[in-house]
């Protein structure tokens, strides 16, 4: 089936080009600035990229901070809960309940306590990132093989040492999955929170573009978000492969 | 995933849900009474319950809830069918697979909130807006899981199909899709959570009707007990949706769950 990489790339281009052409054709037919085609969007990207990059900086910064807060709090908590079985079982349904509460629904409450500034947004992002992190960490730490525990005991590790040297590394593959979900939702909620609590950032930029009927400009900003999301995703994937190679090697996937 | 259906702790676990719900209510009430947080911002349980009741009897909540749930469910159904369809197409045609994968990778990270303002202009405030937003963000988990699952169908199963001289479509319909279904369902389950979030976000930003709109309106009117009550409703919706998907999953892939969840 292999027909050389060059031919593969060529045939791989057919679908994206077809989609772009169809979009452009629809835009021509609509013939209104409210329905721009890919060409207008490309022009807007060229015109607006300094502003967009500046605004996206705020967005990414807050997403990163929120994610860091969630990671620092939730990974140890998840491992601890996995150890304390009784409390863990009691807390589990609460986590399920929180998991089903969409992060934007938290916005009005956070607004009451923390206003509309950076802190409020970081709290919302941290909440959004916390849910997948704690669920995956807890799930992994709960399901650890009892043998690992016995090894730790025979090495006379203290409870804390066991958590640090046994539970944490053993849970890392699932924590990594949780992190990937958490990063995606941190980015997503960062944009959403800006749109609801407008100050600055790419979310606000998109709203301003819309208010001025600059749909192409808004789509240009969306294009930037999507490219950055893509870059972050592949970066996370690379890091995961490098740090968790032992897991992939032993389980035989990839 | 709970291990095994013969778990003697199973019944206790079900009780746990109730116990943990009661604990949440009790802690909440204690915090509210203690005056630790101003009562204006953190109303006690009776206040929230009465706010819930008054929204329920005024017909405000049932209407919004019905709209939001209908949107989420129809959107989820459409997105799942589309996602599975795209995955199937990718499986049948390598050209489509190679071409569509980068498109998916680019569209997938776009937050629904960013799409709403643009889509309002392109599609108006009607059902088309919600359909577009929900499908565009919800289609990916079934698609990605579908592609992975269809590619991962064990070779023995495929060869058995070839031995029975099945055609391309028969192979797809009778062997590959059933084998891929459990993994696809994991994607649909994840998609159901996203679809609820996307609907609420779209309603919050498009500001027209539904649960998200109600939430924002109550927040700006500083009707705090109502806001908390609505948050509980949002969480309940998630549980409801999970239950529905679980039921459907049992119907369609029960054979697989029985096989994997019961240790022999």
Task: Judge if B106 and B172 occupy the same domain.
Answer: yes
Q: Which residues of B touch A107 (CB under 8 A)?
A: 204, 219
| pLDDT for res B5 | 45
More confident residue, B253 or A74: A74
Q: How far apart are CA B242 and CA B39, in angstroms?
A: 33
Task: Say if the Cβ atoms of A15 and B112 lie within 8 Å.
Answer: no
- In angstroms, what separates the C-alpha of A14 from chain B's closest C-alpha? 6
Task: Judge if A152 and A187 occupy the same domain.
Answer: yes
A11, A32, A101, A103, best to mutate vs chain B, most B CBs in 10 Å:
A101
- H helices present in B164-223, as ranges: 168-170, 177-206, 211-220
Task: Judge if B16 and B93 occupy the same domain.
Answer: no
Q: Which residues of B touch A18 (CB under 8 A)?
A: 99
Helix (H, G, I), strand (E, B) or coil at A200: coil
Task: Judge if B147 and B157 occupy the same domain.
Answer: yes
Q: B 8-67 residues with CB below 8 A of A?
A: 13, 16-17, 19-21, 23-24, 41
Task: Judge if B95 and B119 occupy the same domain.
Answer: yes
Task: Judge if A10 and A52 occupy the same domain.
Answer: no
Q: Which residues of A touch B106 (CB under 8 A)?
A: 226-227, 230
Q: Which residue of A has its CA nearest to B9?
A: A89
Task: Judge if B51 and B35 occupy the same domain.
Answer: no
Task: Judge if A75 and A181 occupy the same domain.
Answer: yes
| pLDDT for res B10 | 52
Q: Is B193 on the interface with A (CB under 8 A)?
A: yes
Q: How far apart are CA A56 and CA A98, in angstroms?
A: 29
**Please, which residues have CB within 8 angstroms of residue B185's CB and are 6 or more apart in sequence?**
B245, B249, B252, B253
| pLDDT for res A143 | 76
Domain at B206, CATH number: 1.10.3720.10
Q: Which residues of B touch A196 (CB under 8 A)?
A: 204-205, 216
Task: Judge if A45 and A2 occupy the same domain.
Answer: no
Buried b (16+ CB within 10 A) or exposed e, A139-159: bbbbebeeeeeeebeeeebee
Express each pLDDT in A207-242 by its tens digit.
Answer: 888 778 788 888 888 888 888 888 888 888 888 888
Q: What is the token pair recorded at B6?
A: 């013969």
**Please, which residues have CB within 8 angstroms of residue A102's CB and are 6 or more apart in sequence?**
B196, B197, B200, B201, B234, B238
Candidate from A11, A188, A202 with C-beta closest to B95: A11
Task: Say if the Cβ atoms of A187 and B235 lie within 8 Å.
Answer: no
Task: Judge if A112 and A218 occupy the same domain.
Answer: yes
Task: Judge if B49 and B101 occupy the same domain.
Answer: yes
Task: Judge if B33 and B48 occupy the same domain.
Answer: no
Q: Which residues of A touch B105 (CB under 8 A)?
A: 230, 233
Q: How far apart are CA A190 and CA A104, in angstroms?
A: 10
Buried b (16+ CB within 10 A) or exposed e, A26-35: ebeeeeeeeb
Please calculate the CA angle A5-A10-A14 and round it to the nearest 5 degrees.
Answer: 140
| pLDDT for res A115 | 78
CA A169 to the chain's CA centroid: 22
Q: What is the token pair recorded at B51?
A: 């706010």
**Please, which residues have CB within 8 angstroms of residue A237's CB and are 6 or more apart in sequence?**
A180
Task: Say if the Cβ atoms of B218 and A13 lie within 8 Å.
Answer: no
Structural domain count, chain A = 2
Q: Is B241 on the interface with A (CB under 8 A)?
A: yes
Task: Say if the Cβ atoms of B106 and A226 lie within 8 Å.
Answer: yes
| pLDDT for res B14 | 64
Radius of gyration of chain A (CA): 23
Task: Judge if B86 and B202 occupy the same domain.
Answer: yes
Q: Which residue of A has its CA nearest to B18?
A: A93
Task: Judge if A141 and A60 occupy the same domain.
Answer: yes
Express each pLDDT in A188-216 by its tens digit.
Answer: 888 888 888 777 888 888 888 877 878 88
Task: Judge if B118 and B32 occupy the same domain.
Answer: no
Judge if pTM exceeds 0.90: no
Per-residue pLDDT of chain B (264 residues; tens, 9 = 90+): 444 444 445 555 567 777 878 888 888 888 888 877 777 778 888 888 888 888 888 888 898 889 899 999 999 999 999 999 999 998 888 888 888 888 888 888 888 888 888 788 777 777 788 888 888 888 988 998 888 888 888 888 888 888 888 887 888 888 888 888 888 888 888 888 888 888 888 888 876 788 888 888 888 887 888 888 888 888 888 888 888 888 887 887 777 666 665 443
| pLDDT for res A254 | 43
Give residue A17's domain range: 1-31
Domain at A174, CATH number: 1.10.3720.10
Q: What is the token pair recorded at B202?
A: 């779209």
Place A72 in a pLDDT band, splitting at 50, 70 and 90.
very high
Q: How far apart are CA A56 and CA A59, in angstroms?
A: 5
Task: Judge if A54 and A102 occupy the same domain.
Answer: yes
Q: How far apart are CA B17 and CA B13, in angstroms?
A: 7
Give residue B104's domain range: 44-261
Q: What is the token pair recorded at A222?
A: 């969306």
Task: Judge if A119 and A207 occupy the same domain.
Answer: yes
Distances (CA, A) of A202 to A188, A193, A199: 11, 11, 10
Q: How far apart are CA A177 and CA A237, in angstroms?
A: 10
Structural domain count, chain B = 2
Task: Judge if A101 and A11 occupy the same domain.
Answer: no
Candidate from B105, B114, B234 with C-beta closest to A203: B114
Task: Judge if A23 and A88 occupy the same domain.
Answer: no
Express each pLDDT in A84-130 by its tens digit.
Answer: 877 887 787 778 777 778 788 888 888 878 877 888 889 999 998 99
Task: Judge if B51 and B123 occupy the same domain.
Answer: yes
Q: Estimate the crossing angle of helix B9-34 against helix B45-57, to 10 degrees.
A: 100
Which value does ipTM take for this structure?
0.72
Task: Judge if B9 and B113 occupy the same domain.
Answer: no
The answer to whether the CB of B250 falls within 8 A of the CB of B82 is no
CA A225 to the chain's CA centroid: 12
Express each pLDDT in A139-170 by its tens digit.
Answer: 888 777 777 778 888 888 887 888 888 888 88
Q: B 76-115 residues with CB below 8 A of A?
A: 94-96, 98-100, 102-103, 105-115
The answer to whether the CB of A153 falls within 8 A of the CB of A225 is no
- In angstroms, what separates the C-alpha of A156 from chain B's closest C-alpha? 30
Q: How far apart are CA A218 and CA A14, in angstroms?
A: 27
Please calculate the CA angle A222-A223-A224 and round it to the nearest 5 degrees.
Answer: 90
């Amino acid at each position: 089936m292999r027909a050389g990489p060059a031919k593969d790339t060529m045939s791989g281009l057919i679908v994206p080009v077809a989609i772009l052409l169809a979009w452009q054709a629809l835009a021509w037919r609509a013939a209104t600035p409210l329905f721009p085609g890919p060409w207008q969007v490309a022009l807007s990207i060229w015109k607006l990229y300094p502003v967009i990059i500046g605004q996206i900086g705020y967005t990414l910064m807050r997403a990163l901070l929120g994610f860091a807060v969630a990671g620092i709090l939730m990974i140890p908590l998840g491992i601890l809960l996995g150890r304390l079985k009784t409390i863990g079982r009691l807390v589990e349904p609460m986590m399920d309940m929180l998991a089903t509460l969409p992060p934007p629904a938290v916005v009005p409450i956070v607004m009451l306590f923390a206003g509309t500034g950076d802190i409020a947004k970081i709290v919302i992002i941290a909440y959004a990132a916390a849910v997948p992190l704690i669920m995956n960490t807890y799930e992994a730490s709960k399901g650890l093989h009892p043998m690992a525990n016995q090894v730790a005991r025979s090495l006379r590790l203290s409870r804390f040492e066991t958590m640090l040297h046994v539970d944490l590394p053993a849970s890392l593959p699932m924590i990594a999955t949780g992190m990937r979900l958490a990063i995606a939702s941190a980015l997503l909620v960062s944009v959403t929170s800006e749109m609801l609590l407008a100050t600055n950032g790419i979310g606000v930029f998109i709203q301003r573009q819309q208010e001025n009927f600059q749909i192409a400009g808004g789509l240009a900003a969306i294009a930037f978000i999507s490219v950055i999301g893509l870059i972050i995703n592949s970066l996370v994937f690379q890091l995961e492969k490098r740090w968790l190679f032992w897991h992939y090697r032993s389980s035989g996937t990839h | 995933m709970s291990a095994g259906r013969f778990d003697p702790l199973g019944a206790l676990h079900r009780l746990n849900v109730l116990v943990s719900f009661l604990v949440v209510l009790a802690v909440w009430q204690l915090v509210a009474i203690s005056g630790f947080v101003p009562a204006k911002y953190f109303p006690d349980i009776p206040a929230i319950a009465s706010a819930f009741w008054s929204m329920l009897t005024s017909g405000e909540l049932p209407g919004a809830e019905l709209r939001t749930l209908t949107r989420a469910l129809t959107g989820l159904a459409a997105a799942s069918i589309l996602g599975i369809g795209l995955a199937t197409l990718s499986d049948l045609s390598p050209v489509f697979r190679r071409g569509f994968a980068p498109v998916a990778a680019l569209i997938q990270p776009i937050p629904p909130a960013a799409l709403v303002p643009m889509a309002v202009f392109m599609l108006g405030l009607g059902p088309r807006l919600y359909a577009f937003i929900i499908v565009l963000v919800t289609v990916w988990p079934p698609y990605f899981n579908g592609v992975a699952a269809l590619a991962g169908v064990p070779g023995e199963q495929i060869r058995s199909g070839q031995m029975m001289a099945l055609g391309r479509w028969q192979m797809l319909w009778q062997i590959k899709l059933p084998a891929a279904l459990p993994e696809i369902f994991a994607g649909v389950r994840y998609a159901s959570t996203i679809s609820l979030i996307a609907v609420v976000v779209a309603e919050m930003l498009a500001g027209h009707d539904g649960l998200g709109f109600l939430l924002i309106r109550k927040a700006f009117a500083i009707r705090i007990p109502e806001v908390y009550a609505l948050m509980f409703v949002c969480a309940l919706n998630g549980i409801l949706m999970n239950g529905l998907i679980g039921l459907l999953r049992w119907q369609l892939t029960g054979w697989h769950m029985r096989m994997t969840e019961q240790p022999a």
